[in-house]
Amino acid sequence: MKILVCLSKKEKAQKIFEHTVEAVKETKVRGEVFLTLQCESIKKKLSDNIYEYDIVMLDAFDQKCLEIARYIRDRNFIASILFISDHSQIRSDLFSYRPSALITESEDNKQITEAVMRACREQVRANPYFTIKTKEAVMRVNYADIFWFESRQRIVILHGRTKEITFYAKLSEVYDRVPKETFLRCHQSYIVNGNMIRGIDKVHRCLDLVTGEVIEISKSYYKDVLSFAGQGRF
């Protein structure tokens, strides 16, 4: 689980970060906590369709933080938003961002712990995993961390956010298991996560991924790709 504390005020951000680290330890969640004061850099990544975090903690009264929340929801990223406010007054417009919780006292470690626990449970429900079984182990990879699958005869390579995993399977079997609203088969050798597609190059008939890779579209799947794009899935 990756948790981002994104606040523009340094002292407040550091306190929230420290409380959140303690909350993660207390809840025994297997996760990492990150801190940034650079709201603009996070917004830039979101505008490029790049998202790396499961839970985001944002200042409820900071316009830049609200823009980040809007980007997350507009692009349908599966993320839990936790708003932080030192004001007892609750802004009604915050609910349009579907936050998991509103922390009204940034010094209250109990509030932060409860909010993190709620968001973690939400993420477990919202983020299914692709399971890979080998002779050595059983591995689960979050769908959001999969860029694309590549087939090489009877071997399939999962290209992920942090690593590549090779396993024996047919690509058709893999496609039967992944959610069709998210994953697109564009070639007899490739299945791509639609959330990782930056755009279509119709001249060269290929997909440009946010990672910089280029994936070929075969003639037989070209109409499926255009249909997928026409439904606003990337």
Q: Does domain 129-230 have CATH number 3.40.309.10?
A: no
Residue type (1 letter), 6:
C
> In sequence order, what are the residues at sequence separation of 6 or more whose Cβ sits closer than 8 angstroms to the Cβ of residue 110?
none
**Per-residue CA distances from 182 to 94, 106, 117, 229 (Å):** 27, 36, 27, 11
Give, for all 234 residues of the chain, the pLDDT tens digit.
Answer: 789 999 988 998 999 999 999 988 887 666 789 999 998 889 888 877 777 788 999 999 899 999 999 989 887 777 899 999 877 667 778 889 999 999 987 677 888 999 998 998 888 777 688 989 888 888 889 898 999 999 998 899 999 998 999 999 999 999 999 988 889 999 999 999 999 999 999 999 999 999 999 999 999 999 999 999 887 666
Q: Where in the chain is the domain with CATH 2.40.50.1020?
A: 129-230
Q: Does domain 2-126 have CATH number 3.20.20.80?
A: no
Any idea of the CA torsion for 6, 54, 80, 174, to the nearest 10 degrees?
Answer: 150
Q: Where in the chain is the domain with CATH 3.40.50.2300?
A: 2-126
Asked whether the whole model's pTM tops 0.95, one would answer no
Residue listed under structure tokens 């609910």: 95
